[in-house]
Amino acid sequence: MSPAVHAAAPGAGRPPAEDAGGPPVVLLHALPFDASMWDGTARELRARGHRVVAADQPGFGAAPPAQGPPSLDAVADALAAELDRQGIAAAVLAGCSLGGYTAMAFLRRHPHRVRGLALLAARGTADTAQAAEQRRRFADAVLDDEARERLVAATTPSLLGATTRGRRPDLLGRVTRLALAAPPQSVAWTQRAVAARPDSTAVLRAAAVPALVVIGDEDELVSPDEARLTAAALPQGRLAILPGVGHLAPLEAPRETARLLAGLLARAGKAGAGAW
């Protein structure tokens, strides 16, 4: 999918018929990875009988690069177009970090298509001016061929919890290799898009759907207190704190992540029982 392919304006048009067996779940990856970061969780969910769509966001995996000015609205509209292509009228969205920000942009622009929401390691507020500037500086630096490897080596370890780093050095190596392999232009574009995102608190407060906020207690980028605020903004929000987990729960704890999402899908199925 690509931001060059736009869905109809928010609320416009009629989406395809809904799935008869309940809501599918769309898994949205973190930066700078692709949909494969969800492989373990996706297998667990499929084994439970759920329809799973693991989506590459623009410029990552099999998705073509983004076009136009950096904007998560464009990413959200591209996701809507991809769901149209797959005949999915509405779904539960589960996004980790970047994926969570994409999910919130999708909720803002296509609220009628969201049957449930899971936000992993993502805050509902906008970046502070300082944080946004740090993202823009990162975007500039990642385009520098001489600086990129040092930048990745310095920043990637913070994506994993201290427990994971200590017990699973293989995963740290894998995450570092994936970060180095990510297209620099796509990483830069996406960092700028995330830096420009608006506060989503009002959007979350209006989301009358089953919702889940997941945070690792060793997340070095989003704190449990921030996750509590995000969960409190959601009318049906529940908070799950994963011990010994950092910023990337789908990679660090795929089975536990699947268990939590299965619970959300059960809630979403009951909430929409008359619509499926």
Consecutive 10-residue runs of the chain (276 residues): their mean pLDDT? 30 37 88 97 96 96 93 97 95 98 98 98 97 96 93 96 97 96 97 98 97 98 97 98 98 98 94 53
What pLDDT sits at residue 270?
Answer: 86
Residue 35 carries which DSSP code?
Answer: G
Could you tell me the CA-to-CA distances from 52 to 33, 43, 47, 189, 242 in Å, in that order? 18, 9, 10, 27, 23
Amino acid symbol at 151:
L
Strand partners, 91: 114
Residue 29 carries which DSSP code?
Answer: P
Q: Among 190, 130, 121, 197, which Cα is nearest to 158's? A: 121
What pLDDT sits at residue 67?
Answer: 87
What pLDDT sits at residue 272?
Answer: 66
What pLDDT sits at residue 10?
Answer: 32
How is 58-87 classified by DSSP, letter by letter? Answer: TTSTTSPPP-SS--HHHHHHHHHHHHHHTT
Residue 114 carries which DSSP code?
Answer: E
The H or E element spanning position 119 is strand 114-120
What pLDDT sits at residue 217?
Answer: 97
Cβ partners under 8 Å of residue 1, min gap 6 = 55, 56, 57, 58, 63, 64, 78, 79, 81, 82
What pLDDT sits at residue 95?
Answer: 98
**Rounded to 5°, angle at Cα 268 from 267 and 271:** 85
What pLDDT sits at residue 273?
Answer: 53
* pTM value surpassing 0.85: yes
Cis? peptide before 254, omega within 30° of 0: no
Residue 46: helix, strand or coil by DSSP? helix
